[in-house]
Amino acid sequence: MVTRVGIIMNGVTGRMGYRQHLVRSILAIREQGGVALADGTRLMPDPILVGRNADKLAEIAGRHGIERWTTDLDEALATDDEIYFDAQLTNVREQSLLRAIAAGKDVYTEKPIAESLEASLRLARAAEQAGVRVGVVHDKLFLPGLRKLRRLVEGGFFGRVLSVRGEFGYWVWEGDWQTAQRPSWNYRSEQGGGIAVDMMPHWSYVLENVFGRPITAITARVATHIPERVDEQGCPYQATADDAAYALIELAGGVVVSLNSSWAVRVHRDELVEFQVDGTEGSAVAGLHQCVVQHRSVTPKPVWNPDVAEPMPFREQWSQVPDNEVFDNGFKAQWEQFLKSRAGEGEHPYDFMAGARGVRLAEAALQSHAEGRRIELGDLRLDAGNDLLDRVGA
């Protein structure tokens, strides 16, 4: 039996909404015959595209054989489609999500879920009161490298985890004599841009879920290393948002995390993001796809001697972690998990409160930079009266 699942997809004319969510997730699920449930039912997504540009929507719909599209969100929300998905710019996301919740739609959304922690909590309250199911994109948890890393943590490979070092970024061209790889709004704070608000929500859920520990504090500094860029129309503009964020993050249990995120760095790594985890029994380096390990029993014993060229081939002394399974596209895998959870099969734990914690970490990073101090983070939850408790410590 095939069960139709109507999905209102808002923001699919953007790069992420189109490539990852529409083409590589929803259309890929349709092409494979839907999402199979244990009882033999197949959930078949039926998208309706929503956006502001009618020409772009019509072109995308025609290219992929999608029958329904509209520039009127209220028209889409008035349909019997069960799910609302949002991949718009952050600065217009909150109001659209609130309208979808008021219409009784289940919600699946990109992050950050809103521009501020207060707005994120408004969404959480609204969803709780409406009784709708919600999900927030946590795509990196479904990538092969981080799934291998999580497997190592859960298997006790590291012993006691001591520290985590993360490096993310690449050189984004200024847009003058080389076209920029990112849209200009990323560098305008008034449009929700900035690498801190973009990447801190990712690091929040990665650290929480891979290591199973809450974040307790952050000390951060952000920078706008490239102050002037050129936009899509070839016009120079002043960057008002940060393009680099350097953070020292503390996890419960004493784990120290150093994370650098930059759009103004040239890559000398195997992948665009890498995490090195060191523990008493072993270490690992994980990227998006690969993960290598070195156990305590085979750890070399280098001796510091700056007068002699290093003879040890350190990279050759690490071992690859095997896949042991077939990894699907991370965005698609999470879509399938969300759709299954709505049908009562499995859980999808990445809710608006998880999204709110990501926004809180971004706010705390910017606060730490502005005030030049360490920011402690308490529990983030809603009590019975929907009041915010322990938002940010002193």
Residues 12 and 131 in one domain: yes
Q: Looking at residues 358-371, what average pLDDT do you find?
A: 98
Q: Is the pLDDT of residue 29 over 50?
A: yes
Per-residue pLDDT tens over the stretch 246-288: 999 999 999 999 999 999 999 999 999 999 999 999 999 999 9
State whether 155 and 288 are in the same domain.
yes
Q: How far is CA 114 from the centre of its chain?
A: 13
pLDDT at 382: 75
User: Which two tokens mark 159?
Assistant: 């012993």
| Residues 27 and 49 reside in one and the same domain | yes
Distance CA 389, CA 394 (A): 13
Q: What is the CATH number of the domain that holds 335?
A: 3.40.50.720
Residues 300, 344 share a domain: no
Whether 135 and 152 share a structural domain: no
Q: Please tell me whether the peptide bond between 112 and the residue prior to it is cis, using omega within 30 degrees of 0.
A: yes
Q: What is the span of the domain harbouring residue 314?
A: 141-320
Q: Which of 47, 34, 53 is nearest to 76 (CA)?
A: 47
What tokens were used for 54? 């009618």
The CATH number covering residue 174 comes to: 3.30.360.10
Pairing of strands 236-238, 244-251: unpaired
Q: Can you list the positions of beta strands (E) in the chain? A: 2-10, 35-36, 42-50, 69-70, 83-86, 106-109, 134-136, 161-169, 215-223, 228-230, 236-238, 244-251, 256-262, 273-279, 282-286, 291-295, 319-320, 375-376, 381-382, 388-389
Same structural domain for residues 150 and 85?
A: no
pLDDT confidence band for 387 (50 / 70 / 90): very low
- The tens digit of pLDDT for each residue in 314-343 reads 999 999 999 999 999 999 999 999 999 999
Is-above-0.85 flag for pTM? yes
Do 123 and 149 sit in the same domain of this protein? no
What integer best gives the mean pLDDT of the chain? Answer: 95
Average pLDDT over residues 169-174: 98
Both 165 and 82 in one domain: the answer is: no
- In this structure, how many other beta carbons lie within 10 angstroms of the beta carbon of residue 80? 6
| Range of weakest confidence among 28-42, 70-84, 330-344, 379-393 | 379-393
- The tokens describing 210, both together, are 């891979």
pLDDT at position 381 is: 80
Q: What is the pLDDT of residue 385?
A: 40
CA dihedral 300, 305, 311, 315 (to 10 degrees): 50
